[in-house]
Structure 1
């Protein structure tokens, strides 16, 4: 084969990839439409810009000693679409961090040391997904994101929030998934979720929630999966879920519930987990007993509700009780 022909092919490849370079200690994978760079578990403390392919579309830097990311760092990757920065030592982000990555749709900052974020930090890219899981955040500001944010998925779990970040949520009208689990939330007030009309999945498990306002879910019409397990709920409003017509899965396990009010599950929830609550199996459980028996008949599903009191019924599944044992009349 003609040597000049081979050289022209080689030159074309180099031009296509912006030179087949790769940062030291990292792995690079080149494709016709994408280039992935992975810098995993290496001893670096600054962004590895040297040797970074300019056509990088997916960048993963994890388990390093990097403490900050700036806009200047990311100028090395103008075509970037996904940025994964989990489990580093990042304490600071710059306001202009994303100004040079106009195609970025996903950023993962899980497991870092972030306590505060600057204003407009997520303004310069059309982000669809943000993960801030397992950081040190106690507040989330509205100006982190533009008012017309495209965000559909955000993970704020494992932080220090004591209140649902209402200011941030007011800019997230397209949000589909919100994870606020493993924080220190104590209540769910009315109004904070009202603008999330497209929200389908809400995770609030492993908090300290004691109260939920009866109108807390008034605006979340599309909600399908709601996780409230392992909180401190002692009672629920009978109309709490009346506006949620699409609720398929509801997890209330591991709370302090003793009774469930009449009508609480009337929006036709498909599956409910009520396990690990101190249910008091008396006549006040008539509604739940009938609901569960019907659910078993129609869907072959149990709510896992088990009696804690009276002592004579302790350990018995609610659905297994006879009308006489529960003290109700069978219709």
Structure 2
């Protein structure tokens, strides 16, 4: 009978070979799920029902399409070997958060599409390394706010899509660095025109009117009034409710953002072994010692179950003879 250690080592070797074979089969012509155009260094993995990004995307890739899949999260290092990318589409997925630093190595990226996901917030500095970006698509998400300075490094941005989110205002100076902007979409957001915070956006729209297309489309959530038309009297509120009569002890309050962040720090187990071998990001793969420990533990458990079963059968056999 093959020993547990020998069996585990053999399983590791077979798994490594299986992973290598899966990595070689990224493109359809090699038996993979994606379409590749080697002449243009383009990889199309769109509409493949992917729940994780393939780990074997060539480093020479300049265009990567991952739209219309079932991606719900990204590894922080999933794109770190793809510094030559100029185009990346992640739209029409189920992304709820973006890990800090996930785009930091995409220094040549021109176009980033993140529309039609479930993003509620953006990490500060998430776009800071994308200094060549000319198009940023964030439409049809659930963004309630944008961090201060999140667009400050995007000095080459020409088109920005923020429509159909849950934005009520933007921070003071949010768009000041976007000197090359020629198109922006701000419509279908519940802009709060009763709050003083909206005055920055109003003033910016008035200043850029005629130079930035579609800028007039932003409308107040109440009254169907254009943001550029509101007055200081309209935006007189300081956005703090004066009718609060019951004080809530500060020590017992937990900010919603903290709860939200904690929820998304929960580690989700791998869905199945095929996903683990074929499409899990490299930084999630266990080391060989970890793999050996897991396999040995599994084999030990199986051996214990077999011995227990044998003991039970022996007892039954003894009682029957008695």
Q: TM-score, normalised by structure 2?
A: 0.60
Determine whether 1:324 maps to 2:236: no
* Structure 1 residue 189 corresponds to structure 2 residue 99: yes
- Pair 141,166 (structure 1): closer, same or farther in 2 beyond 3 Å: farther
Q: 2:159 aligns with which of 249, 261, 271?
A: 249
Q: Is the 8 A contact 2:76 2:99 kept in 1?
A: no
C-alpha spacing 1:300/1:187, structure 2 compared with 1 (3 Å): closer
Map 1:1-331 onto structure 2 (within 5 A): 96-97=24-25, 114=33, 128-142=41-55, 144-146=56-58, 149-268=59-178, 269-282=181-194, 283-299=196-212, 301-309=214-222, 314-327=223-236
Q: Confirm or deny: 8 A CA contact 2:220 2:226 kept in the other structure.
A: yes
Structure 2: tracts of 5 or more residues without a match = 1-20, 238-322
CA distance in structure 2 between the aligned counterparts of 1:256 and 1:154, rounded to whole angstroms: 28
Does the CA-based 8 Å contact 1:179-1:204 persist in structure 2?
A: yes
Higher radius of gyration, 1 or 2: 2
More strand by share: 1
State the shift of 1:162 in Å: 1.1
TM-score, scaled to structure 1: 0.58
CA contact (8 A) 2:191 2:220 kept: yes
Change (3 A) 1:296 1:108: farther
**Equivalent-residue separation in structure 1 for 2:214 and 2:57 (angstroms):** 42
Pick the structure with more helix per residue. Answer: 2
Would you say the 8 A contact 1:295–1:301 is kept in 2?
Answer: no
- In 1, the alpha carbon distance for the partners of 2:157 and 2:28 equals 29
**Structure of greater relative contact order (alpha carbons < 8 Å, 6+ residues apart):** 2
Cα-to-partner distance string for 1:173-194 (whole Å, 9 max, x where unaligned): 0100000001110112220000
Offset of 1:320 from its aligned partner? 2.2
- Matched position secondary structure for 1:325: coil
Paired with 1:262 and 1:227, the residues of 2 have a C-alpha distance of 21
* Whole-angstrom CA distance in 1 between matches of 2:106 and 2:216: 28
SS in 1 for 2:201: helix
Tell me by how many angstroms 1:270 deviates. 3.4
* Residue correspondences, number: 212
CA separation in 2, counterparts of 1:244 and 1:212?
15
Distance 1:174 1:291, change over 3 A: same
How far residue 164 of structure 1 moved from its aligned partner, in angstroms, is 2.8
Q: Which runs of 5+ in 1 are unaligned?
A: 1-92, 99-106
Deviation at 1:172, TM superposition (A): 0.8
Deviation at 1:271, TM superposition (A): 2.6
Cα separation, partners in 2 of 1:96 and 1:281, compared to 1, 3 Å: closer
- Distance, in Å, in 1 between the alignment partners of 2:78 and 2:202 is 40
Following TM superposition, the consecutive aligned residue runs of length 4 or more in structure 1 with deviations greater than 6 angstroms are none
Q: Could you say what secondary structure the match of 1:188 adopts? A: coil
Superposition RMSD in Å: 2.8
Deviation at 1:325, TM superposition (A): 3.1
